[in-house]
A and B are shown apart, each in its own frame.
Chain A
Amino acid sequence: MSQPTETVTHFPVFQYKAIQSTVRYLLMILFALLMFGLILLISGKDPIQSYKDIFTSTLGSSYGFSEVIVAMIPMLITALAVALPSRVGLINVGGEGQLYIGAAFATFGALTFSNLPGWFLLPLMVLLGMLGGALWAFIPGYLKSIGLVNETITTLLLNSVAPKIIGFLIFGFWHSPMDTVKTANFVAAAKLPSFFGTRIHLGLIFGLILLIIFWLVMKYTRWGLEMRAIGSNPQAAKRNGLPLSKYLVVIMCIGGAIAGLAGMVQVSGFYGTLFLNFSMSLGFMGFMICWLAGGEPLGIILMSFVVAVITTGGNLLQLTRDLPYAVINILLAFTLFIVLARPSFFKGKTP
């Protein structure tokens, strides 16, 4: 990556802007916490004690911290599955569905080739998972490229189809006699290795590497340049001879492949089996994180961490404070609203 590129493509204010926007994001999250404190107060709970619970349980111990990282892994990846298509102006709300189909394809690999060694089986599952997500995203991508249906609608609608297919597979072909709502457990070779005696698994590395690749591609490559042009002004990009339709389909499929990888990572690294409804809105969470982060890789890491703290802490809140888990969704919704209510935030960002 040569030096002139650096000086040519970026404005000197970039660094300052990044710091500035980080501070503003943190302020907004603080504001969201304040609002949620009010809700807690109204429902008769001590907000300060609740927050203390959330933060000590997650950031206060190495175990708690590792659990936050575990929760963060799929969010990182699903957020990227939204961020990449957003660069060409595609709004991929279908991370959830693509994740399910990716998980199903990976599960197929795990159950069918269970006698293969791990060094071969795991890459195969990764490829299968990505293929599944890509196929699921191809449908909306193709329909969009021929100008038939908006991808926001199709991706959203396909989300409710995917879990039904999973259910069909779990209760049909992959029915395990011992269990009702899941397949048989994967063999050890089909599970992603984990580190440091925690549940943190190889998926974290996948997510971080993908984010770095994403950043490099957008910043330095011809494809990044062309994608930014398409996202900035599709009409002009087309007249300038950029293959618009091809990009829409291919990028949508890559986005789907990334979401599919998140599915593979969840079933192989976290559960070690395919559960019915295992995702619990990971795809939507990724969508929210991407928007909160303005589609920037660093922001995605930061925001997935914050959201992971909230959801992990929320689990505990349910136990210690006798609050329903759903309450934590109120906090997430607050965060989303506050960020989206300040659209001037995204204006400085050049997609």
Chain B
Amino acid sequence: MPSRTAAQPDIKPIVSMRGITKTFPGVLANDRLDLDIHTSEIHALLGENGAGKSTLMKILYGFYRCDKGEILVKGKAVSLHSPHDARAHKIGMVFQDFTLIPALSVAENIALFLPDLPAVLNINKINERILAVSRRYDLQVDPHAMVSQLSIGEQQKVEILKLLLAEARVLILDEPTRVLAPHEVEALFKVLDNLRKDGFAIVLITHKMKEVLECADRITVLRGGRMAGTMLKGEASEEKLVALMFEKKNPGLETGHRTSFEKPGAPLLELCGAETHGEGAQASLKAIDLKVHPGEIVGVAGVSGNGQKELGDLALGMIKCAGGRKFLFGRDSTNLSIQQVRRSGVGFIPENPLSMAIAPYMTVLQNMALTRTWKYARSGGLRMNWKAVKVDTERTMQALEFTFPLFVPARSLSGGNLQRMVIVREMAQEPRLIIASYLTRGLDVLSTIAARQALVRARDNGAGILLISEDLEELFSLSNRLIVLYAGGIAGSFKPEDTSIYEVGHLMTGSEVRNVATN
């Protein structure tokens, strides 16, 4: 059971949650959870997908109402019916998906959120307030900039600024590092450190062990909606936390050995001087030369927004080449439709399953058939063979040891389950070429291992894989070859053993260009 030795035993917690219970249809999301949040502290909520972290915090933010239990703010019981109530008690939350309005400037977005917004805006005054706060906590953003032109990291800063200007004292951050590049993560932790020194209470929802050990003062681990344990920074170690997160022992992060391929076959995917013209928020790709051979994983590193999405879409056929050519399986495929590309044996795992891969109102099983409707159609399309869909899906689920419900609308799945679902769907067709973006985003440790192993297995069976990721450790441990995308061009191309995370990090931010091992 949780050890309750507080850091400063004399100070009462600013927020106490007592006996919080919350059920969703068929799921006990929170089971009698107790949580204390102290000022001047970073409190990490750790747990795998579906452990109930986000639910608990959404209850605190008034987004959900708990079935049982009470919330005390500064020792007084409060009822939080809406985020509005929560903000009145100086509780603020940054969601995984940001809530900024792209067409407005930073200052306008922040102004919209202010509790004391007057009828006539004095945007200059708001600008001054923004600048004052941002200087103090190292959160530099240009108040005049349009949100649509900000990077993800900057948008996150704006979200935090929004809360600070609205005078929140308790800040809840839901997986803030998920979307950040390594150096941005460091900057964020510095900001959090500054805030801690100023007496803010910070709750960090995460499932990344390293971050927790790096910055948290107090760590609470949830498992299956229950409290698994609470410990202070000094007591915590990676093994202890893993043991709390998963009842069984962590099988280790081994992802199989890197098979060095002696004689690469003809490339499965080849881009020759491929270019695209980005519209709006899209990046433009410049003179991309890239080959993916059978039996190799080509990692693509880069800060998001430097052309990764476009590269994946170009390979799939979602975007057409404005210049250059694309070859798939040795055939010129520059002008093939997506359906032709997919039928030739290409699997595609997009960066955002909810918006790019699934039909949210259809059931999971129906979604499973979408990429191969031709295969499951019977009587010329008059009916569908759902049994075959189910058999194929369940076989792949078993192989990957993933479980998720099949007969519920896809939108009711959690983010991690959506990702599992897409991985299962794409792997079930045994593709010869896999384009995977942010493969393990939103997955917990066990599922991450399973997903990586699935890729490695596919590679060992002769598939070629283009792995787009911001997780450099993932790229270094899986890739046979590594390229770095910067500003739509290839800034570097290496064998992972010939380079280091720091060098790649530099190239990702555009500070150095080097070519060691070209294709």
Interface residues in chain A, defined as those with a beta carbon under 8 Å from any beta carbon in chain B = 1-2, 4-5, 8-9, 11, 220-223, 225-226, 228-229, 232-233, 235-243, 350-351
Contact = CB atoms under 8 A, between A and B. Distances in A.
B358 A241 contact: no
B381 to A, nearest CB: 4
A233 B384 contact: no
B127 interface: no
Contact of B360 (A4, A220, A233): A233
Given A220-B384, A242-B339, A225 B366 contact: yes
B384 A239 contact: no
The B interface is mostly helix, strand or loop, or mixed, namely helix
Given A8-B363, A228-B362, 9 more contacts: A2-B383, A8-B390, A226-B370, A232-B361, A236-B355, A239-B316, A239-B357, A241-B338, A241-B341
Nearest to B359: A232
Given A8-B365, A220-B383, A222-B377, A239 B359 contact: no
Interface in B350-398: 350, 355-363, 365-367, 369-371, 373-374, 376-377, 381-384, 386-387, 390
Contacts of B342: 240-241
A139 B337 CA distance: 23
Contacts of A225: 366, 369-370, 373, 384
Interface centre among A2, A233, A237 (most CB of B within 10 A): A233
Contacts of A240: 338, 342, 357, 370-371
Given A350-B361, A350-B409, A242 B373 contact: yes
10 tightest A-B CB contacts, nearest first: A232-B359, A241-B342, A222-B381, A222-B377, A8-B386, A241-B339, A229-B359, A350-B361, A240-B370, A240-B371
A222 B384 contact: yes
A31 B332 CA distance: 63
B348 interface: yes
A248 to B, nearest CB: 14
Interface residues of B, number: 39
A237 B318 contact: no
Contacts of A350: 361-362, 409
Nearest to B369: A225
Contact of A236 (B359, B376, B384): B359
A241 B407 contact: no
Given A220-B383, A225-B366, A235 B356 contact: yes
Contacts, number: 99
B356 A239 contact: yes
Most B CB within 10 A of own CB, among A221, A240, A350: A240
A5 B407 contact: no
B373 A222 contact: yes
A232 B381 CA distance: 20
Interface in B333-348: 337-339, 341-343, 348
Contacts of A223: 381
Contacts of B369: 225
Nearest to B371: A240
A146 B366 CA distance: 28
Nearest to B363: A9
Nearest to B383: A220
A229 B361 CA distance: 8
Contacts of A235: 355-356
23 contacts: A4-B386, A5-B386, A221-B377, A221-B384, A222-B374, A222-B376, A222-B381, A225-B384, A228-B359, A228-B361, A229-B362, A232-B360, A236-B356, A236-B357, A240-B338, A240-B370, A240-B371, A241-B338, A241-B342, A242-B370, A242-B373, A350-B361, A351-B361
B361 A226 contact: no
A243 B365 CA distance: 20
A345 to B, nearest CB: 15
Given A236-B358, A237-B370, A5 B339 contact: no
Contacts of B383: 1-2, 5, 220-222
A238 B339 CA distance: 8
B425 to A, nearest CB: 9
Instruction: Give the most central of A232, A241, A243, A350: most B CB within 10 Å.
Output: A241
Contact of B337 (A8, A221, A233, A243): A243
Nearest to A350: B361
Nearest to A234: B359
Contacts of A228: 359, 361-362, 366
A239 B367 CA distance: 13
Nearest to B340: A241
B370 A229 contact: yes
B343 A241 contact: yes
A221 B316 CA distance: 26
B376 to A, nearest CB: 8
Among A1, A236, A242, A351, max chain B CB count under 10 A is at: A236
A350 B361 CA distance: 6
Residue among B359, B369, B374, B383 with most chain A CB within 10 A: B359
Nearest to B373: A222
A233 B338 contact: no
B361 A239 contact: no
Contacts of B343: 241
Interface string B388-414: 001000000000000000010100000
B354 to A, nearest CB: 8
